[in-house]
Amino acid sequence: MLIQGYKLELVSPACDPGTARWSAFARLEDDIRAVLPYLNAIWAGAIYGHAAGYLTWQMGSRAVSVRPRELAVSNLADKDEAEAVVAQLVETINDVWERRDEIAPRTRRRERLRALDVYRLLPGGNCKTCGEPTCFIFANKLAAGQVTVAACTLLYTDEHQGQRAQLLALLDAAA
């Protein structure tokens, strides 16, 4: 087991005192830097800084930050939820560590996929063949992983093969 123990601290964000939402910080007894490349490999959409030793990830409506001796989770309702979410994270991290021989570690930094960058590579025209009312809505859904590139049939014409290659490279960098 990688994480043996931790001390949990619950705080109201300094930028919004008295808020109904809380952040939790689990101060870890052990350095967990070695698990970060494995988490980066399996947590889709995680942003990992190998040299700096951090990993950020969106867990539903919560932002999660993993550092060598700290887990931080935002957007929590109360102490009970904080305890449950942190316990779940610790269990997941320990499980990944136990299965590390089955996982290819990934030290490459993912790039955050932005809808506007996707939109700029689409053919444009709001043709609706993808099933969306506008190219910008399609770009937002593609950036969120709700649709696939293949839905934009115009990208698969000879005229737009360069844009398709750039878009696929952008998606690969975010994967």
Distance CA 41, CA 31 (A): 19
Q: What pLDDT, in 10s, does the model give residues 32-83?
A: 999 999 999 999 778 899 889 999 988 888 999 999 999 999 999 988 999 9
Q: What pLDDT, in 10s, does the model give residues 109-136?
A: 777 788 999 999 999 989 999 999 999 9
Distance CA 13, CA 11 (A): 6
Global pTM reads: 0.69
Residue ranges of domains in the chain, CATH in brackets: 6-102 (3.30.310.10), 115-174 (1.10.15.40)
Looking from the CA of 160 toward its CB, the CA atoms found within 13 Å total 17
CB atoms within 10 A of CB 32: 22
